[in-house]
Structure 1
Amino acid sequence: MTLVVKRTLLGASAAASALVIGLAGTAGAATIGFNKTSGSGKAEISGTYEYHVSGEIPETKEKLYAGSFKGATAKDKVAGDGYEAVLALSYQDFRNGAWYPVKNYVAVVNGSKSWTFKNKKEVKAWACDRKVGTTKLLNCRAAF
């Protein structure tokens, strides 16, 4: 009976080790919780950002990233003042064999949502104010 228990424990230990090694093989994934207010303090963004290496460009060996935003929220902290809260993004987007810069991409306005992405790099989330009815982002501060 002692031999059976030892073998079972050894087998369970080996399986657990294989699982840990398997997970380590996908290392490079990172999760960042964020919370930031705009420069004026009127807007607050929060949520979770996750990214991982999803491939590489064969010619340059440069890494491509994929990931997600979960519970990404833009909250208006001063209701009725004529401004709204914006979670904006900036990143590099790989399309048609080249990198294209994207700035001031409005992802969430006065609300919350989740989404995934791929073939991006240098992703940053920004807490911004925006006057209602306009598109110009104001008082932006990077969350990470």
Structure 2
Amino acid sequence: MEFKQNIRVSGKRIALGAAALSSAVVLGFAGTASATTFGFSATSTSNKSQISGTYEYHYSGTADSNNPKGGGSNLYDGKFTSSTAKDLVAGDGVEAVLALQYDEYKDGIWARKSNVVAVANGTKTWTFSNKANVTAYACDRALNTTKLLNCKAAW
């Protein structure tokens, strides 16, 4: 009888330990990088170009707080999924562009990046890391040029 009772107690301890470990794992995952995801859509101010897709980001850490050039700010990782730039007026010499603006932390320094062409007349999916203040824009661009025109923020 003593032997069975010890087995029962050990079984209860194992079950309790397993439940505690499962809870810790679930809480650990939930407590770290909780992602924010949303769909987006915007049309350029000329109504010639449209962008759409899904944007997801999550907190990934903090820039070196001892760095006087922007340290201590939050870093974000994420992705754009099925992000599309669609030309709404065919044959007018203008293409649709999904352009980005963001802050990037690289080699200990924050740098502002603007007019970064992510998609031109097509669809792409990509990931990013160590960014902040990301904004997507619907823009027009004359064919064979680099200047973005009539841009409108999606958020």
User: By how many angstroms is 1:15 displaced?
Assistant: 9.1
Which 5+ residue runs of structure 2 have no aligned equivalent? 1-15
1:86 aligns with 2:92: no
Partner of residue 97, structure 1: 108
% of aligned pairs identical?
57
- 8 Å Cα contact 2:63/2:105 also seen in 1: no
CA distance in 2, matches of 1:75, 1:16: 46
1:63 to 74, 86, 89: 74
1:52 to 53, 58, 64: 58
User: By how many angstroms is 1:24 displaced?
Assistant: 2.9
Alignment-mate amino acid for residue 134 of structure 1? T
Partner of residue 122, structure 1: 133
Structure 2 length-normalised TM: 0.78
Which 5+ residue runs of structure 1 have no aligned equivalent? 1-10
- 8 Å Cα contact 2:33/2:59 also seen in 1: no
SS in 2 for 1:74: strand
Partner of residue 4, structure 1: none
User: By how many angstroms is 1:18 displaced?
Assistant: 6.1
User: By how many angstroms is 1:72 displaced?
Assistant: 0.6
- 8 Å Cα contact 2:42/2:152 also seen in 1: yes
User: By how many angstroms is 1:32 displaced?
Assistant: 1.7
2:47 to 29, 41, 49: 41
SS in 1 for 2:47: coil
SS in 2 for 1:116: strand
Greater share of strand = 1
Residues 14 and 41 of structure 1: is their aligned pair in 2 closer, same or farther, counting only changes over 3 Å?
Answer: farther
Alignment-mate amino acid for residue 78 of structure 2? G
Residues 97 and 19 of structure 1: is their aligned pair in 2 closer, same or farther, counting only changes over 3 Å?
Answer: closer
CA distance in 2, matches of 1:42, 1:138: 11
Larger Rg: 2
Residues 27 and 64 of structure 1: is their aligned pair in 2 closer, same or farther, counting only changes over 3 Å?
Answer: closer
Residues 14 and 92 of structure 1: is their aligned pair in 2 closer, same or farther, counting only changes over 3 Å?
Answer: same
Partner of residue 4, structure 2: none
User: By how many angstroms is 1:55 displaced?
Assistant: 1.4
- How many residues are paired up? 135
